[in-house]
C-alpha cells in the first residue's frame, strides 16, 4: 500500500489494474458507460493505477471492431468523464496505446466467431512487419518503410489526445504479439531494411515510437511500456534480449517496464502462480529500470512478496479484478495494512470513512469489515 512516485506522478499504492479489453466500444471506437462503470468501480476499489485497455491509435490497429480508440476528437470527449471519475477517486488514470498489426480485425470472443473478421463482416485488411500470418489469422500486408516511419507519429498523436482526454499516464503496448512486438521478434520480423535484422534494428520502431511519445508528454509525466519478455519459443525473443531492450527504453525516457510474456506465436507456456514474476525481476535487476509484474498474482500475500523480494515496483492485477473490483481494499484488509494510502483525493468527506485507513468509501461503509 506504500505510494510510488515516477517523475511528477504519485501512485497512492502499488496495486494496479492491468489493461483489459472489454470489447464494448460504441461505434467508431468510442468508450461507453460500460467503461465508466468498469474503470470507475476499480478506482473506488482502491487501485493505485487504473489502466484502460488496449486503445487503438488508428482504426486498423484495433484488435476487434469493438475496441476503443484515441484517433479522433469524439473519442477524446467520451473518455473525459471516465478519467475525471477515476482521478476524482484518487487513482492515477492510465491508458494503454496500441496497434494490433497482423493480430487486428479479429472476433472479440463473445461467441460470434473466431479468427479474422472478414471485410464484409466489418473487418479490415491487416498490416505487419512481414507478410506472414499469425497462425489461424489472415495474412497481413507488409508495411512499406514509409508506412513504418509513420507509426511513431500515430502513437504521438494518440498521446496528445490521451492528455487532452485527462489521462495522467500512457503505456505503449509492445507485448502479446501486437505490432511493436511483431517488429521486435525474429519470429515475425523478416525485413531486410533498417527495421529488420539484429535486435537493435528490430527495436528501432519501438524506440522511435517511445521517442515520439516522450516528445509529446510533459517532462513530469511518466511513460510505461508493456513488453513480452519471452516468446517461449526456440529462436524467439529471450528474457536476455528483452532486458537489453528494456535498458534502451530506460535510456529513451521510459520510467517503468510492465513485464508480460508471449502472444506472438502459438507456444506452450508454463502457466502457474506468478509465472512471469522472475522475468520482471531479471529485467529490473539487469536493465536498472522500474518494473511491474503481472500474471496469476491472485493473493495479497503473493503480491506483497513480489514487492518485498524486489522483483517489481508494482503488481498488476487482471482477472482477479474482473470478479472483485475492490481487490486492493481486500488485500489491504487481509494484510492488516493500515497505511492511509487509499485516500480518495479531493473528496475525503464523501469517500473515506473517518478512522477507516483502508479507504473504504463512506457510501459502502455498512458493507466494510468491522
Residues that bind ligand FMN (CB under 6 A): 18-21, 53-54, 96, 173, 175-176, 226, 260, 294-297, 317-320
Identity of the residue, 94 or 129, whose beta carbon is nearer to ligand FMN in the bound complex: 94
Identity of the residue, 260 or 351, whose beta carbon is nearer to ligand FMN in the bound complex: 260
Q: What are the catalytic residues?
A: 178
Give 3-state DSSP helix, strand, coil % of the chain, rounded to 5.
Answer: 40, 15, 45
Identity of the residue, 67 or 168, whose beta carbon is nearer to ligand FMN in the bound complex: 67
Q: Which residue is nearest to ligand FMN (CB)?
A: 318
CB of 206 to ligand FMN, least distance (A): 15
Q: In the block, which residue shows the cell 494503454?
A: 96
Q: In the block, which residue shows the cell 479468427?
A: 115
Q: Compute the distance between CA of residue 252 and CA of residue 315 in angstroms, rounded to an integer.
A: 23
Identity of the residue, 18 or 180, whose beta carbon is nearer to ligand FMN in the bound complex: 18
Q: Compute the distance between CA of residue 65 and CA of residue 115 in angstroms, rounded to an integer.
A: 13
C-alpha cell belonging to residue 302: 503473493
Identity of the residue, 188 or 351, whose beta carbon is nearer to ligand FMN in the bound complex: 188
3-state secondary structure 4-41: EEECCEEECCCEEECCCCCCCCCHHHCCCHHHHHHHHH
Task: Tell me how many helices (H) and strands (E) the chain has.
Answer: 12, 12
Are the C-beta atoms of residues 291 and 284 closer than 8 Å to each other? Answer: yes
Q: In the block, which residue shows the cell 467508431?
A: 28
Amino acid at each position: 500500500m506504500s505510494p510510488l512516485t515516477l517523475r511528477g506522478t504519485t501512485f497512492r499504492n502499488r496495486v494496479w489494474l492491468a489493461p483489459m479489453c472489454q470489447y464494448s466500444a460504441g461505434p467508431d471506437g468510442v468508450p461507453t458507460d460500460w467503461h465508466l462503470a468498469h474503470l470507475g468501480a476499480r478506482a473506488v476499489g482502491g487501485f493505485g493505477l487504473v489502466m484502460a485497455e488496449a486503445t487503438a491509435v488508428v482504426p486498423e490497429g484495433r484488435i476487434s471492431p469493438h475496441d476503443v480508440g484515441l484517433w479522433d476528437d469524439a473519442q477524446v470527449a467520451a473518455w473525459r468523464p471516465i478519467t475525471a471519475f477515476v482521478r476524482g477517486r484518487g487513482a492515477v488514470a492510465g491508458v494503454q496505446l496500441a496497434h494490433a498489426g497482423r493480430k487486428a480485425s479479429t472476433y472479440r470472443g463473445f461467441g460470434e466467431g473466431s479468427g479474422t473478421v472478414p471485410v464484409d463482416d466489418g473487418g479490415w485488411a491487416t498490416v505487419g512487419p512481414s507478410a506472414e500470418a499469425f497462425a489461424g489469422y489472415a495474412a497481413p500486408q507488409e508495411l512499406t518503410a514509409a508506412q513504418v516511419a509513420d507509426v511513431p507519429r500515430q502513437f504521438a498523436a494518440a498521446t496528445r489526445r490521451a492528455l487532452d482526454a485527462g489521462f495522467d499516464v500512457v503505456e505503449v503496448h509492445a507485448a502479446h504479439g501486437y505490432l511493436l512486438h511483431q517488429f521486435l521478434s525474429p519470429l515475425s520480423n523478416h525485413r531486410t531494411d533498417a527495421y529488420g535484422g539484429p535486435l537493435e534494428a528490430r527495436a528501432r520502431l519501438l524506440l522511435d515510437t517511445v521517442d515520439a511519445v516522450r516528445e509529446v508528454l510533459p517532462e513530469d509525466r511518466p511513460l510505461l511500456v508493456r513488453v513480452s519478455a519471452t516468446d517461449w519459443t526456440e529462436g524467439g525473443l529471450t528474457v536476455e534480449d528483452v532486458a537489453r531492450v528494456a535498458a534502451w527504453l530506460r535510456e529513451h525516457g521510459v520510467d517503468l517496464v510492465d513485464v508480460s510474456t508471449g502472444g506472438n506465436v502459438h507456444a506452450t507456456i508454463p502457466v502457474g502462480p506468478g509465472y512471469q514474476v522472475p522475468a520482471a525481476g531479471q529485467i529490473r535487476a539487469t536493465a536498472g529500470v522500474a518494473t511491474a509484474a503481472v500474471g496469476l498474482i491472485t493473493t495479497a500475500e503473493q503480491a506483497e512478496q513480489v514487492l518485498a523480494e524486489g522483483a517489481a515496483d508494482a503488481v498488476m492485477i487482471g482477472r482477479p479484478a474482473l470478479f472483485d473490483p475492490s481487490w486492493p481494499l481486500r488485500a489491504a484488509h487481509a494484510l492488516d495494512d493500515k497505511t492511509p494510502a487509499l485516500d480518495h483525493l479531493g473528496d475525503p468527506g464523501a469517500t473515506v470513512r473517518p478512522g477507516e485507513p483502508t479507504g473504504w468509501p463512506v457510501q459502502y461503509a455498512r458493507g466494510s469489515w468491522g
